[in-house]
């Protein structure tokens, strides 16, 4: 644990500017979307979980494109353990629409788990395909002789390989993780030699801790930091969970938005979770619209033990 803490401290020291560009889709309910950020999370919870997110950013925003331009993002993920080899597998698929630009990715994760007393230390790797496509018909050229748009119509797509590494530690009350994404730094140029759009290297840091306020109420502060070691952005917040059934919380995204979150767990074993996040833009409203909305669904498959006996999952590992 001392090594992990030292690593996080060094990473924060190296970060000194604010990162404003949005390379990957961003999600306000990041604490429920860990596999998207870190391949080492695959299978850590010891159950098979399916999750889906939909985000409508800057709702009602109208850009200079033919059909608006407000970003929308969806991510579907699957995480499952493989106990015989102390491992976990994960899969996530992302659709990220940014005006005329669309990012599609399919990523497969593998993680190896080390048991440390009542906790886990996991090491993960992710490989996949990252596709970018441009719809030239959405652009309204200011310069009719723009070489990028000259004679181009319809949609153009390129597919590149992608890779990530991660480390993740989980105990009964605490989690902390770091991942290194887009290690191949794949580039997209769409046939223009003077135009390149690389997937920049990105480190992601996450951490959270469960404080038991009383028997029924748990408060979980957490943070998410994204950095390329030259600049950074962060989300910080806290969620209160009552009776392991319902939750609500607040968070703040640096230089962007204040966020409110609500959620509820359904069924006797709380296997189906529904969450909602509302973002209110507090900076640069003149360039955006004021609100964003995000919906989360996750389902944990029942666990059948040998002999038909039911396994009761540990509530502390619910995130």
The pTM assigned to this predicted structure is 0.84
* Amino acid 191: pLDDT: 67
Q: What is the pLDDT of residue 270?
A: 94
Instruction: Quote the CA–CA distance of 314 and 234 in Å, as a whole number.
Output: 30
Q: Is 211 helix (H, G, I), strand (E, B) or coil?
A: strand
Residue/partner pairs of 11-17 with CB below 8 Å, 24 or more apart: 11/178, 11/203, 11/205, 11/225, 11/227, 11/229, 12/225, 14/227, 14/229, 15/225, 15/227, 15/229, 15/230, 15/231, 15/232, 16/230, 16/231, 16/232, 17/230, 17/231, 17/232
The domain of 268 spans: 2-317
Please state, in angstroms and rounded to a whole number, the distance separating the CA atoms of residues 149 and 188. Answer: 16
pLDDT score of 229: 82
Spatial separation of the C-alpha atoms in residues 55 and 203, rounded to whole Å: 22
Q: What is the model's pLDDT at position 256? A: 87
Element (H, E) at 37: helix 34-37
What pLDDT score does 118 carry?
87
Q: What is the pLDDT of residue 11?
A: 40
Closest to 259 in 3D by CA, of 60, 74, 29? 29
pLDDT of residue 183: 94
CATH of the domain at 211: 2.40.160.40
Q: Return averaged pLDDT per consecutive 10 residues of the chain, 319 residues in all.
A: 42 40 81 97 96 89 62 95 96 91 95 93 97 79 61 78 97 95 88 73 95 95 92 94 96 94 96 97 74 96 61 46
Cβ–Cβ under 8 Å, residues 146 and 16? no
Separation of alpha carbons 101 and 113, rounded Å? 37
pLDDT reported for residue 128: 97
Q: Sign (positive/negative) of CA torsion 135, 136, 141, 143? A: positive
User: Domain tally for the chain?
Assistant: 1
What residues contact 199, with CB distance under 8 A and at least 6 apart?
A: 23, 130, 160, 162, 182, 184, 185, 186, 187
């Amino acid at each position: 644990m001392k090594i992990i803490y030292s690593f996080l401290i060094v990473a924060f020291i190296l970060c000194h500017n604010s990162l404003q560009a949005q390379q990957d889709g961003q999600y306000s309910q990041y604490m429920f979307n860990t596999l998207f950020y870190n391949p080492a999370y695959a299978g850590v919870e010891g159950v098979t979980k399916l999750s889906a997110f939909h985000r409508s950013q800057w709702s009602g925003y109208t850009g200079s494109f033919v059909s608006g331009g407000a970003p929308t993002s969806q991510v579907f993920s699957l995480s499952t353990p493989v106990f015989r080899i102390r491992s976990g597998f994960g899969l996530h698929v992302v659709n990220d629409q940014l005006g005329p630009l669309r990012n599609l990715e399919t990523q497969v994760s593998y993680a190896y788990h080390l048991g440390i007393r009542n906790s886990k230390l996991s090491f993960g790797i992710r490989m996949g395909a990252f596709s970018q496509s441009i719809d030239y018909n959405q652009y309204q050229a200011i310069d009719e002789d723009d070489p990028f748009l000259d004679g181009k119509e319809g949609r153009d797509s390129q597919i590149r390989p992608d890779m990530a590494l991660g480390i993740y530690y989980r105990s009964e009350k605490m989690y902390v993780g770091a991942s290194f994404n887009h290690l191949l730094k794949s580039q997209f140029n769409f046939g223009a030699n003077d135009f390149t759009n690389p997937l920049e290297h990105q480190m992601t840091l996450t951490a959270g801790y469960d404080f038991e306020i009383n028997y029924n109420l748990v408060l979980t502060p957490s943070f998410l930091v994204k950095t390329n070691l030259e600049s950074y952005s962060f989300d910080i917040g806290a969620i209160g969970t009552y009776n392991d059934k319902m939750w609500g919380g607040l968070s703040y995204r640096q230089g962007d938005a204040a966020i409110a979150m609500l959620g509820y767990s359904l069924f006797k074993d709380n296997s189906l979770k529904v969450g909602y996040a509302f973002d209110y833009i507090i900076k640069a409203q003149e360039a955006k619209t004021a609100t964003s909305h995000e919906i989360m669904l996750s389902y944990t498959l029942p666990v059948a033990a040998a002999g038909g006996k039911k396994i009761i999952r540990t509530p502390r590992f619910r995130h």
